[in-house]
Chains A and B, each alone.
Chain A
Amino acid sequence: MNFSKSFRNTFLVILLSLIVSACATKKTTTKIEGQMQGDVYTGTDTVKYLADGVPDRVFFATNESILTTKSRDTLRKQATWLRENSSINVVVEGHADERGTREYNLALGERRANAAKDYLITYGISADRISVISYGKERPVDSGSNPLSWSKNRRSVTVKAN
């Protein structure tokens, strides 16, 4: 009995989402074009700033931990800021999207955070000023289930630790 009820509800939800997505398709497509390159997020919706002109986060392609040109640019800005503020330590948080198994995503988040950390080290920041933590897929910033939301969640975020 419960089963058929939940089935009916599911059916309704599917039906509704079909109607909604049918209306929204056109709008979403243009939105994605402006904010993603490949499947890497290039927008600024969720970005915060460590200081004026210093974005706190970089974004990754699905299953990747390679830094894009834009990410490297952001991390160089972070490195410059960290050199000017030598008393500040940071934590680099690594994150994954919800489309992967939990344990693999924990490892992937750690790999992404370390990619960012390594780049900061290359630009002269001492390793002992940077710690890393992976949250895997546990702390999304965007709770949608669509490619744009996922792209915002595949990120590493540099956070002041003191």
Chain B
Amino acid sequence: MFRIINLFFIISFLLSTKAYSLIEIDITRGNLDPLPIAVSPLFQNDNSKRNSINELKIENVGSEISLVVENNLKISGLFNPLNKEAFLQKPDIAHLKPRFEDWALIKAQALITGKVTIEDKKLKVEFRLWDILAGREMMALAFTTVPSNWRRVGHIISDKVYERLTGEKGYFDTRIIYVSEEGPKTARVKKLAIMDQDGFNTKYLTLGNELVLTPRFNPTSQMVTYLSYFKNLPRVYLLDIETGTQEVVGDFPGMTFAPRFSPDGKKIIMSFAKDGNSDIYTMDLENRIVERITNHPSIDTSPSYSPDNKFITFNSDRSGFQQIYVMKADGSNVKRISFGKGLYGTPVWSPRGDLIAFTKLHKGKFYIGVMRTDGSGERLLTENYYQEAPSWSPNGRVLIFYRETKSNDKGEGFSAKLWSIDLTGYNERQVQTETDASDPSWSSLLSN
């Protein structure tokens, strides 16, 4: 169906990068003062430009990569990439040794320079990160890969810069799997779709012949689990996005839904509905053993493991209304953790372990929020007419979710879009998709 290009990165350090810097970014608070950074177009010589046109139909892949970096840094909300027209120094010269005064003049605090060559069907990229205030190099790296991987090179550079300046892993070399939506509300056609985190390279994984919902990545491999109404039997499926092979998960005599992988990638946890009652089950992907985790006459659904695989948070209406619960992974020690006003759903454990993100419905409004794993410290990040289903970026700093608009009595004006927001509650943005979209799930970092 769709094959990931096998990629092979050789990362080598050009110079040792011991220098500590004056600039750093605090990402624990809403960043209202993003760091001014200059992203110089990566230099490419004429010979390489000709190869670039032959290989990629792109004249200046160096400029294109720098645009990928610039866009990533901008949407993170932590950086303010400066207008290239103001740059005084040419890319090739700046890459050798920047004139720090020139860059300081346009108020840049950090500078990214680089060089690309395409030769023998290989793309070689080197880049440097400079601290303008301290007047020194902070980092230098080189990659070699196939030319068609040029956007990923941009994402990896962004991750390296983010990590160097914030002290935390980035989230740019990642992908989003989601449900693409088209058509009127009463006859919506839904397909599985996957794209780079920045909205590029969209691929459709199903044709839209059957209803598909709630895809989720395996954090450790290129597998996806989702709900499909294939042959009108709603069941949880497992899909290998490299080979396109798929299979039903388990042999249940009824609807299975709300699937999610355990963080170690070894189990799928999901709901199984029988005789009007939904309980939580797991299936071990190695030995296919199915285990029942909850046994309660209420609805138990939307399960999500803690990153150490020891606990599970889930959604239940055992109190009479939808609330969030936490239990041990074997189903013991069930505790309700949501006690605020309204209904709570879709709990999902942060990859950092300290927070649970959720959807809240209160007085006709929907909120995306976070609370600590004992239910304390509830914080609502965004309020809207309809929004739900947050998914964490792999570094636990950003949430992606979907939002629907209200329609008029004829159903007009309806749309479903992906949005992201920082854990701080700042930097809310629409994530570009080719079609309407819902049920996003964020992958792990593809490279490290």
Binding site for B on A (CB under 8 A): 6, 13, 17, 20, 63, 65, 98-104, 106-108, 110-111, 113-115, 118, 133-135, 138-146, 149
A14 closest partner in B (C-beta): B406
Residues on A with C-beta less than 8 A from B441 are none
Q: Are A102 and B276 in contact (CB under 8 A)?
A: no
Q: Are B315 and A138 in contact (CB under 8 A)?
A: no
Stretch of B118-126, B129-137, B146-154, B183-191 contacting A (4+ beta carbons < 8 Å)? B183-191
Q: How far is A141 from B186 in the complex, measured between Cα atoms in Å? A: 6
Residues on A with C-beta less than 8 A from B414 are 143, 145
Known pairs A99-B361, A138-B188 / 5 extra A-B pairs, C-beta < 8 Å: A20-B408, A107-B278, A107-B301, A134-B255, A142-B186
12 pairs, CB–CB < 8 Å, chain A vs chain B: A17-B408, A20-B408, A100-B345, A101-B302, A103-B257, A106-B234, A106-B301, A107-B299, A133-B232, A135-B211, A141-B186, A144-B410
Residues on B with C-beta less than 8 A from A106 are 213, 227, 234, 255, 257-258, 271, 273, 301
Q: Are B273 and A107 in contact (CB under 8 A)?
A: yes
Binding site for A on B (CB under 8 A): 184-186, 188, 211, 213-214, 227, 232, 234, 255, 257-258, 271, 273, 275-278, 299, 301-302, 315, 317, 321-322, 345-346, 359, 361, 364, 386, 388-389, 404, 406-411, 413-414, 430, 438-439
Smallest distance from the beta carbon of A98 to chain B beta carbons, Å? 7
Residues on A with C-beta less than 8 A from B361 are 99-101
Q: Are B410 and A143 in contact (CB under 8 A)?
A: yes
Q: A63-B321, A101-B389, A103-B257 are in contact. Are A138 and B301 (CB under 8 A)?
A: no
Residues on B with C-beta less than 8 A from A110 are 255, 273, 276, 278
Q: How far is A57 from B213 in the complex, measured between Cα atoms in Å? A: 25
Contact residue among A6, A99, A140 (Cβ-Cβ distance under 8 Å from B386): A99
Q: A98-B404, A139-B186, A140-B185 are in contact. Are A103 and B413 (CB under 8 A)?
A: no
Residues on A with C-beta less than 8 A from B389 are 101-102
Q: Are A102 and B213 in contact (CB under 8 A)?
A: yes
B213 closest partner in A (C-beta): A102
Contact residue among A65, A103, A139 (Cβ-Cβ distance under 8 Å from B301): A103
Residues on A with C-beta less than 8 A from B407 are 143-145
Contact residue among B211, B345, B364, B404 (Cβ-Cβ distance under 8 Å from A104): B345
Q: Are A143 and B185 in contact (CB under 8 A)?
A: yes
Residues on A with C-beta less than 8 A from B188 are 138
Q: How far is A108 from B315 in the complex, measured between Cα atoms in Å? A: 12
Smallest distance from the beta carbon of B9 to chain A beta carbons, Å? 33
A139 closest partner in B (C-beta): B186
Contact residue among A13, A108, A115 (Cβ-Cβ distance under 8 Å from B299): A108
A127 closest partner in B (C-beta): B275
Q: Are A144 and B301 in contact (CB under 8 A)?
A: no
Q: Are B299 and A111 in contact (CB under 8 A)?
A: yes
Residues on B with C-beta less than 8 A from A141 are 186
Q: How far is A160 from B322 in the complex, measured between Cα atoms in Å? A: 33
A101 closest partner in B (C-beta): B345
Q: How far is A111 from B278 in the complex, measured between Cα atoms in Å? A: 8
Contact residue among B388, B408, B413 (Cβ-Cβ distance under 8 Å from A101): B388
Contact residue among A103, A114, A115, A135 (Cβ-Cβ distance under 8 Å from B258): A103
Q: Are A104 and B301 in contact (CB under 8 A)?
A: yes
A138 closest partner in B (C-beta): B211
Smallest distance from the beta carbon of A128 to chain B beta carbons, Å? 12
Contact residue among B276, B278, B386, B409 (Cβ-Cβ distance under 8 Å from A146): B409
Residues on B with C-beta less than 8 A from A107 are 257, 271, 273, 278, 299, 301
Q: How far is A144 from B410 in the complex, measured between Cα atoms in Å? A: 6
Residues on A with C-beta less than 8 A from B258 are 103, 106
Q: Are B409 and A144 in contact (CB under 8 A)?
A: yes
Q: A108-B299, A110-B276, A111-B277 are in contact. Are A101 and B411 (CB under 8 A)?
A: no
Q: How far is A104 from B317 in the complex, measured between Cα atoms in Å? A: 9
Contact residue among B255, B275, B278, B439 (Cβ-Cβ distance under 8 Å from A102): B439
Smallest distance from the beta carbon of B104 to chain A beta carbons, Å? 29
Q: How far is A99 from B384 in the complex, measured between Cα atoms in Å? A: 12
Q: How far is A158 from B384 in the complex, measured between Cα atoms in Å? A: 35
Q: A143-B184, A143-B186, A144-B408 are in contact. Are A103 and B302 (CB under 8 A)?
A: yes
Smallest distance from the beta carbon of A119 to chain B beta carbons, Å? 12
Q: Are A114 and B386 in contact (CB under 8 A)?
A: no
Contact residue among A103, A113, A139, A140 (Cβ-Cβ distance under 8 Å from B271): A103
Smallest distance from the beta carbon of B237 to chain A beta carbons, Å? 15
Smallest distance from the beta carbon of B219 to chain A beta carbons, Å? 19
**Which 10 pairs between the two chains have the least Cβ-Cβ distance?**
A143-B411, A114-B276, A101-B345, A143-B185, A107-B278, A103-B258, A107-B299, A145-B406, A110-B273, A144-B409
Q: How far is A62 from B227 in the complex, measured between Cα atoms in Å? A: 25
Which of B214, B234, B388, B409 has most chain A Cβ within 10 Å?
A: B409
